[in-house]
Amino acid sequence: MKKILAIDDKVLNLRLVKAILNNYIPECQVLTTLSGKEGIKIAKEELPDTILLDIHMPEMNGFEVCKILKEDKITQHIPIILNSAIINDSQSIIRGLNIGADAFVTKPINPAELSAKVKVMLRIKQAEDNLKKETEKYRIMTETLPDAVTTINLGGEITYVSPRTIEIFGYDNHSEIIGENAINALVPAQRDTAKQTMAAVIKEGMIKDVEFRFIKNDGTEFTGELSASLIKNDKDEPIEFLIITKDITDRKNAENEIIAYQKKLKTLNSELTFAEEKERRRIAINLHDVLGQTLSIAHIKLSSLSNIKLPFKVEKIIGESSELIHAAITESRTLTYDLSPPILYELGLIPAIKWRLEQIEEKFEIITNFKSSENTLNINSDISILLYRIICELLINIIKHANADLIEVKIRKDEKFFYFLVIDNGQGFNYQPKTKITKLGGFGLFSITERLDSIQGQLVIESEKEIGTKVIVIIPV
């Protein structure tokens, strides 16, 4: 319930005021007192929503009471209506306004006028209370936020800092930084960037997460993210910048550690890939030089027995054994080529790709086509092997998933890059350029991108459902 305090040295006046207010504003409680001193006491205890104060009273007049109430932090926000039978000169009105009065009522009191002015004061008080609550809410938010809150006027001077701002920037209290030029005090090493950021805020109204190197009071630096927006007046004119600063030192350190760890992993992956290729080569050579030779000799010796007349059963067993050994020789050769094709080491990448396409045509009955703008490729042998494995992986993917009957491999080169295109006319898929490789499924593409990353290459995919897929492997010359 709203409270109204009436202060007057005349009992009849108080009764009249109470009767009028009870009639026009029945939802309010009316408190009364006959003296200014008692009125001040009641005002502090009850905190009424409006005070109706008579000017001409003994001991302490209305002007004195009004001044005391308006100077006290407890009561200064309470609207005061001064009333008197002789308050019709401008000097008295000016005096009342200067000490804080909010309105005037002359005697004899007009009930409608009095109730209307009291209602206005109640609305003002309610609005001020709501504003006070909102202000208090935002003050609490500002002071409890983990990020620093700062306001800066359009001239660049700091007008407000939250406790967190003082803590982050290493000041003892707000008076050390209030009034300072924000750029000089906080980002002296990035003056131009700071000025551009302020201009961007004025133009766009807001910016988010701009990284700066901030400086503390003791001269040490830290990395932070700055977000800013404009504070405007009731005419929609900018008057201040609201700055939110986040200390991201720990996050940056963690990110740097992750990046360093990723680099180590990629280096390890690259080394592992080359080590795997060397082991493939070693096994392939052993298969060819040891197992293959042994099988060949065994096959020759068994074949030499065909010139000797032997019992039918023995000849049959020798013939079957010879065929098995011949099949094993063929299988070992295929295995040797799959592990590490000699043609790649002896003739280079282009002949090896052509050979692989011929194998696909023969084994899977898929038409293949090869085109190259270069007869030879001046590429490091280790990288040639890596590229061969990548292209083979892409070809295997087509065979497994694309349901294609045509595969094309094209090689182009410009001043900066080699382009290896693997194209099929298969079923394709709806691919969005921003889709991460890891979301396409399968380890193959992820492995390819990791391998390419180790040589500063990249993978580009273009695909459309029912039309086909084009994969471009790009590596720097």
Residues 344-373: tens digit of each pLDDT:
888 889 999 999 999 899 889 899 999 998
- pLDDT in the model for residue 290: 77
Residues 134 and 157 in one domain: no
| 398-401: Cβ within 8 A, 24+ apart | 398/422, 398/424, 398/426, 398/469, 399/360, 399/364, 399/366, 401/426
One-letter amino acid for residue 401 of the chain: H
Q: Residue 447 belongs to what domain range?
A: 346-476
Residue where one domain finishes, among candidates 247, 265, 280: 247
Tell me, yes or no, whether 129 and 166 share the same domain: no
Q: Is the peptide bond before 108 cis (omega within 30 degrees of 0)?
A: yes
| Amino acid letter for position 323 | E
Q: Are residues 216 and 290 in the same domain?
A: no
Q: How far is CA 246 from the centre of its chain?
A: 13
124/17 same-domain check: yes
Structure tokens at 42: 């009641």
Residues 187 and 289 in one domain: no
Of 339, 374, 400, the domain-final residue: 339
CATH number at residue 194: 3.30.450.20
- pLDDT class of 301 with cuts at 50, 70, 90: confident
Q: Alpha carbon of 221 to those of 174, 175, 203, 243: distances in Å?
A: 20, 21, 29, 18
135 and 9 within one domain: yes
Whether the per-residue pLDDT at 274 is higher than 80: the answer is no
Residue at a domain's end among 339, 371, 398: 339
Domain identity same for 78 and 124: yes
Q: What's the pLDDT at 434?
A: 59
The C-alpha angle 258, 253, 437, rounded to 5 degrees, equals 30
Q: Which residues of 129-152 are buried (b: 16+ CB within 10 A; e: fewer)?
A: eeeeeeeeeeeeebeeeebbbbbb
205: left (phi over 0), alpha (psi -120 to 50) or beta: left
Question: pLDDT tens across 242-252, in order?
Answer: 999 999 988 88
- Domain match, 159 and 126 both: no
Of 424, 406, 329, 335, nearest in space to 367 by CA: 406
Which amino acid, 65?
V
Nearest to 378 by CA among 341, 346, 349: 349
With beta carbons less than 8 A apart as the criterion, state whether 164 and 149 touch: yes
Residue 136 has pLDDT above 60, yes or no: yes
pLDDT at 253 over 60: yes
Closest of 338, 346, 219, 234 to residue 287, by C-alpha:
338
Same domain, 332 and 240: no
Q: Among the listed ranges 179-183, 212-216, 300-304, which one has the minimum average pLDDT value?
A: 300-304
| Burial (CB count <10 Å: 0-12, 13-18, 19+), residue 112 | exposed
Q: What are phi and psi of 133, to 5 degrees?
A: -65, -45
> 393: domain CATH number?
3.30.565.10
pLDDT tens figures, 93-109: 888 888 989 988 888 88
Distance between CA atoms of 7 and 365, rounded to whole angstroms?
107
Nearest to 448 by CA among 406, 387, 400: 387
- Is residue 113 located within the same domain as residue 201? no
Packing angle, helices 62-71 and 90-98, rounded to 10 = 20
**pLDDT average, residue stretch 157-167:** 92
Strand residue runs (E) in 188-233? 206-215, 221-232
CB hemisphere CA count around 460 (13 angstroms): 10
* Domain count along the chain: 4
Same-domain check for residues 9 and 110: yes
What pLDDT score was predicted for residue 263? 81
- In the predicted model, what is the mean pLDDT of residues 203-207? 91
Q: What is the pLDDT of residue 340?
A: 74
Q: Quick one: 8 and 136 in the same domain?
A: yes
